[in-house]
Structure 1
Amino acid sequence: MGVNGTDEEATAAVSGATETGPLVADCAVDAAGVFTVELDLPGGIEDGTARVLLRSRPRTGEQATDVTLETTPVPGRPGRVRALLPVEPVLAEGHWEVRLSGGGVALPVAAGIRDLRALVDRTPPVSAGPLAVRVPYAGQEDRLMLRVWRREGHVEAGGLRLADGALTVRARLVGVAPEPGARVLLRRRGKGGPQHVVEPRTDADGGIVFTVELAALLEEEPPRAAYWDLFWLPSPTAPRIRISRLLDDVAERKRVFVYPHTRVAGHRVFPYYTVDNDLSIEVNAPAG
């Protein structure tokens, strides 16, 4: 929706907005998480009225939230503006669409150049407070989107090794102090599903390593197809933390990172990342 109508009405209301194709915005994210957007203004929107609008994609039963960013002219580029989303405010976790607002309309924006070099092999932040991650990506119809994660504590999955009927995972704790008695919990998806606990160990770099014997996920009789989600349990009384991979430039890892499978008692078993970049294990039922 535009501010006062549909996307089609909003676009038509701005003279020249589609004469040279869709609005295209370039963007970048630095190592601190500052998000910068640049784009050329269409006819009908003046420099002084142009704003970049971030609109959340609401879940069922929720209302969309808008965050408005002021724009400034780009030096030496007449008609081109820049908007900046600093580290604060911390956006809610989810997907945010980038739009251009002005003159009473909010126009969709296509994704142009995305400079995400600062996010590659990102070093975990050491500052206090929740972890906030922002990764721009091209969504449906190439619209510029911003994927946001906000975690009070985080366990960053690293290398995965699938061999000899076991999955070994290396990970790093971010904003979570290692405590005696910490464990890894595997919980089968679904109400009242079984759970499996694994004891981690510390590696030479200060990270954690744990190994899941995959046969343990097939102990239920009869074994069946299932999805197992992985959590970090800092202590017996602390809230569990989803094990994920967030600290790089991949917004939707499920479509990009595809791992090989191994066979355990006739089942195909393999790790994968969910649509939220959380680490899980899939167990497929035997053929026939």
Structure 2
Amino acid sequence: MKPHAEITEVWPRDGCVRLVGHIHGHPAEGEWRLLLTRRSHAEQRLNYPAQVKGDRFEGELPVADVAAATATAELGVGVEEWDIHLTDGEVELRAGRRLDDIHGKKKIMVFPEQRVRDIGVRPYYTVKDNLSLECRTGAAS
């Protein structure tokens, strides 16, 4: 299995999405950050500090920042997706949950949405069991 950021906990509340996990398959030395990359505009990125102790990491993604960055596009009513990585500046490890033998998390694990003005932000698992953020503009879903 290729190196990745194995997510063990996702806490979407109080204006943040808190992530806890382990660095799998890569040395955990150095300074690490949580990196969000807008899927439709890969040049648009947001990053936040991650605390690493041993191979365990944790960090928070502020929902207001993601909503504000999403609002810069001419979306109308639509969906934007942000992929989550853990990076030390040299390598980007995709955040996901693969070591628990539960496949198809996209249909099983549903996280609550947090709203900032007219934008709803929620974490979700992709079809490959990676963790991403969905930003939905318009009315609450």
Assess same fold via TM > 0.5: yes
Q: Distance in 1 between matches of 2:43 and 2:122?
A: 19
1:159 corresponds to: 9
Q: Distance in 2 between matches of 1:287 and 1:190?
A: 22
Q: Distance in 2 between matches of 1:265 and 1:191?
A: 22
Is 1:208 aligned with 2:57? Answer: yes
Superposition pairs of residues 91-106 of structure 1, within 5 angstroms: none
Is 1:256 aligned with 2:105? Answer: no
- How far is the alpha carbon of 1:181 from its aligned partner? 2.5
- Higher RCO (CA < 8 A, seq sep 6+): 2
Identify which of 23, 29, 32 aligns with 1:182. 32
- How far is the alpha carbon of 1:198 from its aligned partner? 1.0
Query: Normalized per residue, which structure has more strand?
Result: 2
- How far is the alpha carbon of 1:193 from its aligned partner? 4.3
TM-score normalised by L of structure 1: 0.44
Larger radius of gyration: 1
Runs of 4+ in 1 over 6 A off after TM superposition: none
Gaps of 5+ in 1: 1-130, 132-150
Is 1:170 aligned with 2:20? Answer: yes
Q: Distance in 1 between matches of 2:85 and 2:55?
A: 19
SS at 1:200's partner residue?
Answer: strand
SS at 2:66's partner residue?
Answer: helix
Q: Distance in 2 between matches of 1:261 and 1:164?
A: 11
Q: Distance in 2 between matches of 1:271 and 1:232?
A: 15
Is 1:246 aligned with 2:98? Answer: yes
- How far is the alpha carbon of 1:245 from its aligned partner? 0.2
Q: Is the CA contact (8 Å cut-off) linking 2:84 and 2:132 kept in structure 1?
A: yes
Of all paired residues, the percent bearing the same amino acid is 25
Superposition pairs of residues 1-288 of structure 1, within 5 angstroms: 131=1, 151=2, 153-202=3-52, 206-220=55-69, 221-222=71-72, 224=75, 225-234=79-88, 236=89, 238-287=90-139
Aligned residue pairs total 135
Q: Is the CA contact (8 Å cut-off) linking 2:28 and 2:55 kept in structure 1?
A: no
SS at 2:64's partner residue?
Answer: helix
Give the aligned CA root-mean-square deviation in angstroms.
Answer: 2.0
How big is each residue's C-alpha offset from its partner over 1:1-57, in whole Å with a ceiling of 9 and x where there is no partner? xxxxxxxxxxxxxxxxxxxxxxxxxxxxxxxxxxxxxxxxxxxxxxxxxxxxxxxxx
Q: Distance in 1 between matches of 2:94 and 2:52?
A: 19
Q: Distance in 2 between matches of 1:249 and 1:175?
A: 17
Gaps of 5+ in 2: none
TM-score normalised by L of structure 2: 0.85
Q: Distance in 1 between matches of 2:15 and 2:32?
A: 24
Name the aligned partner's letter for residue 15 of structure 2: G
Q: Is the CA contact (8 Å cut-off) linking 2:52 and 2:58 kept in structure 1?
A: yes
Q: Distance in 1 between matches of 2:31 and 2:22?
A: 17
- How far is the alpha carbon of 1:217 from its aligned partner? 0.9
